Amino acid sequence: MQNLIPINIIIGDRSYRIKIDAAEEETVRKMTKKLNDQIASYKSQYAGKDMQDYLAMVLLSFVSEQHSAPAAANDQSVNIDFQSLELLLDKALQLK
């Protein structure tokens, strides 16, 4: 059975009580801080909006980051594949 603990987090001036695995508490708190920092950043850039607008902007920002992250991982994978291929070609050329 999981070791769930209740914690309170604040997102966008609202408090939420959630139950999480004890091992994930630090990660959840860090992500909550990152979320609130991003909200504060948008508040300073775009005055006069309501909290729902700020939350929507932060959500869009995070989704964009997630969408671009796999592309970067694919680029790295392709580079590794090319490096492996280059090593094989070098070995093959040395045999001749």
Report the pLDDT value the prediction gives residue 72, as an integer from 0 to 100.
Answer: 59
- pLDDT at position 14 over 70: yes
Give backbone dihedrals phi and psi of 18, rounded to 5 degrees, phi first: -130, 160
pLDDT band at 5 (very low <50, low <70, confident <90, very high): very high
18-68 pLDDT tens trace: 999 999 999 999 999 999 999 999 999 998 889 999 999 998 888 888 777
Alpha-helical segments (H) within the chain? 25-45, 51-95
d(CA 36, CA 58) in angstroms, rounded, equals: 9
Report the pLDDT value the prediction gives residue 62, as an integer from 0 to 100.
Answer: 84
d(CA 50, CA 43) in angstroms, rounded, equals: 9
Rounded alpha-carbon distances, angstroms, from residue 60 to 25, 32, 78, 85: 24, 16, 28, 38
Contacts of 95 (CB under 8 A, 6+ apart): none
- pLDDT at position 69 over 80: no
